[in-house]
Amino acid sequence: MIRIVLLLLLASLMTGLAGTARAQGNEPLTAEVMRAELFGIRMSGIVVGYGISWNECIEPGGRTLYEIEDRVLEGVLEITDEAQACFTYPGTGTSCFRGQRSPRGYLFRSVDDGTLFHATKIERGVRRCIASDLVG
């Protein structure tokens, strides 16, 4: 009898922990979620493993401004049906990322080389991107 009660308590605890992980939102972002959440935002963070700061502003129509190491690039974001956020900048081409939530924002991993960008600061409701607003 005690064994059954302990098993039920353990199962209840594990269910609660699984629910907490979902509530923190560590799941991969779907194409639908990316389309709903990535347009009209300003975000900033670091390139994991390199400690390089970056900023990105994405207008509701997909126009982007991206700042990294004293460079500001203007481009466009497109979300593919395969749940990839693809950023295209003149001169550098297109880079695509898979995303997931993190407790402090988002994680974006390059599908090309695995580089990981951690967005730790998110501002929603952005209508227009101006370079002077990028400073995180």
Q: Is the pLDDT of residue 16 over 70?
A: no
**Domain membership flag for residue 16:** no
Residue 78's CATH number: 2.40.128.640
Read off the pTM: 0.79
Chain segment 92-126, per-residue pLDDT in tens:
899 999 999 998 899 999 999 999 999 999 999 99
Chain segment 40-94, per-residue pLDDT in tens:
999 999 999 999 999 999 999 999 999 999 899 999 999 999 999 999 999 889 9
Using pLDDT thresholds of 50, 70 and 90, give the confidence band for residue 17. very low
Using H for helix, E for strand and C for coil, what is the string for 62-118?
CEEEEEECCEEEEEEEEECCCCCEEEEECCCEEEEEEEEEECCEEEEEECCCCCEEE
**Can you tell me which residue has the tokens 């297109």?**
94
**Domain membership flag for residue 12:** no
> What range defines the domain where residue 121 resides?
31-133
The tokens for 43 are 């975000």
